């Protein structure tokens, strides 16, 4: 069985330890204003996204291992969760002025704390695809995560309200 990368889903702490007064409502951090042309993509990213597939270096994870894993986006803050447990927190910076659109992720907590992970994204309606590499490994140019590519391809579906 393929293990998820520790940078993606890591048991960091309880919500209360992260500074939230209310359990299960992770805090978010706002940083920069989006670049011109990117405001609409920032809006499209907002909300809760269920992880529906992950391909890590060409190894596709079985769908049943992804149950209850989600990404919550508020402003430029992101939280990965499994059920009620917070696994990682980060900030994101989107740039829709490039092709493909670019996504920079800076992890707030975890093994890559403070490091920049570069990726690409494509939000399409209720679907979101993100491809990234580990910090320091450049930026992907397409949405593929083949064997030994060093890439991770994530697909999400927006959670219905």
Residue 85: pLDDT band with limits 50, 70, 90 = confident
User: Mean of the pLDDT values across residues 125-153?
Assistant: 93
Check: CB of residue 103 under 8 Å from CB of residue 81: no
100: cis peptide before it, omega within 30°?
A: yes
Which residues span the domain enclosing 80? 15-158
> What is the rounded CA–CA span in Å between residue 39 and residue 153?
24
Q: Does residue 51 form part of some domain?
A: yes
pTM: 0.76
Cα three-residue angle 1-73-96, rounded to 5 degrees: 100
Q: Does residue 143 form part of some domain?
A: yes
Q: Does residue 55 form part of some domain?
A: yes
Check: CB of residue 158 under 8 Å from CB of residue 152: no
Over residues 13-43, the pLDDT tens digits come to 333 333 333 333 344 333 444 455 568 878 8
Backbone angles phi, psi at 45, to 5 degrees: -75, -25
Instruction: Please give the tally of structural domains in the chain.
Output: 1
Backbone angles phi, psi at 39, to 5 degrees: -55, -40
Q: Does residue 10 form part of some domain?
A: no
Q: Which residues pair with 136 in a beta bridge?
A: none
CATH number assigned to the domain comprising residue 129? 2.40.128
> What is the rounded CA–CA span in Å between residue 69 and residue 86?
10
Q: Does residue 120 form part of some domain?
A: yes
Alpha helix locations (H) across 5-157? 39-45
Q: What is the CA radius of gyration of the chain?
A: 15
Q: Does residue 65 form part of some domain?
A: yes
**Which pLDDT does position 37 carry in this prediction?**
54
Q: How many CA atoms lie within 13 A of 14 on its CB side?
A: 5
Q: Does residue 103 form part of some domain?
A: yes
Over residues 44-74, the pLDDT tens digits come to 889 999 999 999 999 999 999 998 999 999 9
Q: Does residue 3 form part of some domain?
A: no
């Amino acid at each position: 069985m393929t293990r998820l990368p520790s940078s993606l889903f890591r048991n960091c702490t309880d919500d209360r330890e992260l500074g939230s007064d209310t359990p299960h409502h992770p805090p978010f951090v706002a940083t920069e204003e989006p670049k011109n042309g990117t405001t609409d993509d920032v809006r499209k990213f907002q909300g809760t996204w269920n992880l529906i597939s992950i391909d890590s270096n060409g190894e596709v994870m079985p769908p049943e291992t992804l149950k209850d894993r989600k990404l919550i986006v508020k402003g430029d803050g992101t939280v990965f969760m499994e059920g009620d447990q917070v696994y990682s927190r980060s900030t994101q910076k989107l740039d829709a002025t490039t092709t493909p659109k670019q996504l920079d992720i800076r992890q707030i907590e975890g093994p890559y704390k403070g490091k920049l992970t570069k990726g690409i994204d494509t939000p399409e309606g209720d679907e979101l695809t993100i491809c990234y590499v580990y910090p320091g490994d450049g930026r992907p140019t397409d949405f593929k995560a083949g064997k030994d590519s060093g890439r991770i391809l994530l697909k999400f579906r927006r959670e219905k309200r």
